[in-house]
């Protein structure tokens, strides 16, 4: 589904990613771990198409297409979703209005008819059922005055509604208490299917107790220093990041 080759990226002329190689197949959950400043969030932002990050080398192929050649909205329409580490507050626009605009943008590129507010609410209620939430925060402005936990839950709700093929979760666990963490992880697990894949970026192993990854990659200084199965996360938990000195196998 996703093939990242020798990806280099810089922000404001400073190189952050220095040669990432990563392949993700449908049905897989990959975790990216690493210390602060290792480039985890940069990778997430580059995949979503943030204009501030400049790709200086390498390629990203998504379902046979050159992902880097697409605008952020085109990537979204193609099924790429980024759950933000810091979701943005939006004045005046209610969650319902925003979500409907997003779902209709997606339907438009699928040549489907737009959903009217009534159809949309029906669809939304189904999704809320799937992820087991009743409180939908629908009539409040997007992320405005939301708690940290509500903002993160809201990201997951958007993911549930937009049904991405590739979901990138950027530190969705940071700042969550254990109950909120479980709720978010639970929702992500319910959305797992053989047809889609997730890339879970996290600083802490804790999340991976609940979202069990197929692969764990450790990022250090802009490269993948080590890859392994879910047990690698536990090793990191007990040993910290210091033992991973140099990128392996390069």
Partner 1 sequence: MTKEPEIRDEYVADYEAFSRNGGSGVPQWFEDLRRAAISQFSATGFPTTRDERWRFTNVARLKDTKFALANGERPTLSLGEVKQHVLGAGADQCLVFLNGRYSKELSSIGGIPQGVLAGSLRDVANSGSKRVERHLAKYAKTSDSPFTALSTAFMSDGAFVYVPQNTIIGEPIQLLFLTASAGRPVVAHPRNLIVVDRNAAASVVESHIGLVDGTYWTNAVTEAVVQENARLHLYRVQREGGEASHTATTQSHQRRDSSFALTTIELGSALSRHDINAVLAGQGAECSLYGLTQIQGRQHVDHHTTIEHARPHCNSWEFFNGIYDDDSRGVFTGRIVVHPGAQQTDSKQTNNNLLLSKGARADSQPQLEIYADDVKCTHGATLGPIDEKALFYLQTRGIEAEAARNLLTYGFGVEILNRIEIAELRDQLDQLVHVRLDEGAERRRAGK
Binding site for partner 1 (CB under 8 A): 48-51, 71-73, 75-77, 81-82, 84, 87-93, 98, 101-102, 105-106, 109, 141, 158, 162
Closer Cβ to partner 1, 55 or 90, answer by number? 90
Nearer to partner 1, 88 or 118 (CB): 88
In the complex, the smallest distance separating the C-beta of residue 19 from partner 1, rounded to whole angstroms, is: 25
The residues, ordered by sequence, that sit 6+ positions from 21 with a Cβ below 8 Å of its Cβ are 4, 5, 6, 7, 224
* Closer Cβ to partner 1, 101 or 250, answer by number: 101
Choose among 47, 3, 52: nearest CA to 26.
3
Residue (76 or 236) nearer to partner 1, CB = 76
- Could you give the angle at the alpha carbon of 48 between the alpha carbons of 46 and 53, nearest 5°? 30
> Is the distance from CB of 1 to CB of 24 less than 8 angstroms?
yes
Specify whether the CB–CB gap between 61 and 3 falls below 8 A: yes
Phi, psi of 98 (to 5 degrees): -65, -50
**What is the residue whose two structure tokens read 């004045």?**
91
117 near 176, Cβ under 8 Å? no
Q: Which is nearer to partner 1, 82 or 185 (CB)?
A: 82
* Closer to partner 1 by Cβ: residue 68 or 77: 77
CB-based burial label for 206 (10 Å; 0-12, 13-18, 19+)? middle
Q: How far is the CB of 187 from partner 1 (least distance, A)?
A: 17
In the complex, minimum distance from the CB of residue 91 to partner 1, in angstroms, rounded to a whole number: 4
Total Cβ atoms within 10 A of residue 225: 20
- Least distance between partner 1 and beta carbon 114 (Å): 13
Tell me the closest approach of the beta carbon of residue 72 to partner 1, in angstroms. 4
Collect all residues with Cβ–Cβ distance below 8 Å to 88 and sequence separation of at least 6.
Answer: 142, 143
Instruction: Give the shortest CB-235-to-partner 1 separation in angstroms.
Output: 33
């Amino acid at each position: 589904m996703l093939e990242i080759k020798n990806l280099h990226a810089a922000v404001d002329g400073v190189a952050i990613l220095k040669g990432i190689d990563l392949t993700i197949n449908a049905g897989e959950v990959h975790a990216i771990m690493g210390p602060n400043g290792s480039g985890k969030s940069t990778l997430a932002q580059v995949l979503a198409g943030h204009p501030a990050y400049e790709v200086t080398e390498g390629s990203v192929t998504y379902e046979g297409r050159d992902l880097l050649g697409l605008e952020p909205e085109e990537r979204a329409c193609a099924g790429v979703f980024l759950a933000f580490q810091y979701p943005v507050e939006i004045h005046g626009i209610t969650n319902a209005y925003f979500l409907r605009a997003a779902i209709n943008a997606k339907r438009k590129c699928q040549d489907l008819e737009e959903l009217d507010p009534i159809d949309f609410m029906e669809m939304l209620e189904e999704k809320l059922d799937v992820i087991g939430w009743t409180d939908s925060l629908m009539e409040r402005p997007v992320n405005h005055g939301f708690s940290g936990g509500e903002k993160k839950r809201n990201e997951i709700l958007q993911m549930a509604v937009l049904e991405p093929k590739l979901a990138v979760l950027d530190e969705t666990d940071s700042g969550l208490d254990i109950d909120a963490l479980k709720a978010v992880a639970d929702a992500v697990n319910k959305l797992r299917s053989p047809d889609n894949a997730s890339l879970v970026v996290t600083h802490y192993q804790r999340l991976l107790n609940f979202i069990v990854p197929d692969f764990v990659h450790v990022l250090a200084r802009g490269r993948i220093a080590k890859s392994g199965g879910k047990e690698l996360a536990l090793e990191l938990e007990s040993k910290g990041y210091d033992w991973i000195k140099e990128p392996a196998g390069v």
